[in-house]
Amino acid sequence: MSSVQICAYGSPALRKKVVRVEQFDKRLQEQVDRMLQVMYIAKGIGLAAPQMEEMQQVIVIDLQMEPNSEMVALDRKIIPLQLVQPLVLVNPSFDPVNDILILGEEGCLSIPDVHGHVNRYLKIFVKYQDVEGTPHELTCERLLARCIQHEVDHLNGILFVDRISKTERKENAATLKALKARGGIVKYENPSFTA
């Protein structure tokens, strides 16, 4: 795959609330595989199905971090973050573990060249199903928690630019307007593709 296209700011697909996955079949596995491939080519750390016009509750995440000591709790077992990646979340929902919010910078594959600061819960408790339909519980914090909150927003038609300050919106207004005018598609090239 030399290049991939995903929905950009202005695309109606990014503004719809998507439906729960009911069928855990081969088609879902293929969709997840495509999403992972697109995320890696676009060099993102997360992707939600509506960004590919798949209107279902599916998220893929790979923070692609250097090995570090960060831990998560998966099904009540404490394990290294590295071991849960790539993370595929089907029908995810989350609750904050406490009310601590943290302001951090975000971007989005669907909104290239725009960055802004968003308040997210520091630590969350996530319920989801894997690609086979098995339910799981995940407690995580910091970047992974932020990424999951950003991607779950996508499943509800919400974009991070809806949550940035008025000042940052003004600063990015021209870029957002230009993106909208481009027709709702953004293309990413795979630089390592040589065929």
Backbone angles phi, psi at 4, to 5 degrees: -135, 155
Catalytic residue among 53, 132, 151, 171: 151
Angle at 17 between CA 30 and CA 100, to 5 degrees: 100
The number of beta carbons lying within 10 Å of the beta carbon of residue 10 is 20
Q: Any catalytic annotation for residue 132?
A: no
CB nearer to Zn ion: give 74 or 146. 146
For Zn ion, which residue has the nearest CB?
108
Going 146 to 151 to 156 to 159, the CA torsion angle's sign is positive
Q: Which two tokens stand for residue 61?
A: 């995440």
Nearest-approach distance from CB 76 to Zn ion, in angstroms: 29
Nearest-approach distance from CB 134 to Zn ion, in angstroms: 26
Q: x-or-dash pattern for Zn ion, window 107-136, by CB under 5 A? A: -x----------------------------
Nearest-approach distance from CB 184 to Zn ion, in angstroms: 14
CB nearer to Zn ion: give 6 or 140. 6
The number of beta carbons lying within 10 Å of the beta carbon of residue 25 is 13
Nearest-approach distance from CB 108 to Zn ion, in angstroms: 3
Per-residue b or e along 145-183, where b marks 16 or more CB atoms closer than 10 Å to that residue's CB: bbbbbbbbbbbeeebbbebbeeebeeebeeebeebeeee
CA separation for the pair 144, 181 (Å, rounded): 32
CB nearer to Zn ion: give 141 or 153. 153
CB nearer to Zn ion: give 39 or 108. 108
Cα separations (Å) of 74 from 22, 80, 95, 121, 122?
A: 23, 10, 15, 18, 17
Q: x-or-dash pattern for Zn ion, window 81-110, by CB under 5 A? A: ---------------------------x--
Residues binding Zn ion: number (CB under 5 A): 1
Which residues are at the interface with Zn ion (CB under 5 A)? Answer: 108
Catalytic residues: 151
